[in-house]
Amino acid sequence: MIGGVTELPPLPDLPPAFDAGSLAGLGDDLLDALLAELGAGERATVVAMAPHQAQLRELRARTGQIATERRRRERAAHIAARAAVREQARSGEMPTVVDALGSAGFIADEQPLSEVAAFLKSGGEVRFGYATRPGPVSFTDGRQLRNARTWGEARQLFADGWEPGSPGVPGVRVHLVGTRVERVVDAAEVVVRPG
């Protein structure tokens, strides 16, 4: 039982069928009578369908309520996750990229940069590199440019005095997860999750 309707009325019977070829031999009065009979059948069908349509509207409304609740929960979880990232960044539990590059064992050296969990300090989840080519991080010595594809390569370049960025454009290129939005941000504004 949905919407208080226990048993829906059956649809009315269709008027008798006719052969389209036989219409040519009928007079105007008989055509009008057939048309009136079809109109009455249509009206009776509309009346009989009203409870069905009301039930469909009720089902769609309830489905919409559940979808709204799911979206509300997803938003709340997203907001809580961003707040947790901000707190972990503040507490040092998730260090900045620069701090993490300077410490051994924080992330395995063979870990591809495309798989490193990174976040903006504001809480948004990002990945290194371009949205269409995730992974590599550029390093510069002020004149040259080299790309690191693993955490170990990035650590080695950093240990050799290279900084994240390219000549004249310091920072780390990141893209927001699940989008094509990308930008270069200060390496101190990006934090990484251990492991």
Contacts of 3 (CB under 8 A, 6+ apart): 54, 55, 58, 59
- Taking the CA atoms of 147, 148, 153 and 159 in sequence, report the sign of the dihedral they define: positive
pLDDT tens for 82-106 read 888 778 777 777 888 888 888 877 8
Amino acid sitting at position 79: I
Mean of the per-residue pLDDT values of the chain: 86
Count of other CB atoms within 10 angstroms of residue 14: 9
How long is the chain? 195
Q: List 129's β-bridge partners, or say none.
A: 134
d(CA 150, CA 110): 6
3-state secondary structure at position 138: strand
Tokens of 3: 């919407």
Cα–Cα distances (Å) from 150 to 11, 104, 109, 116, 143, in that order, read 68, 14, 7, 9, 22
What does the DSSP 8-state code read for residue 102? T
Average pLDDT over residues 100-120: 87
pLDDT tens for 6-40 read 576 677 888 777 777 788 788 888 888 888 888 88
Average pLDDT over residues 162-172: 91
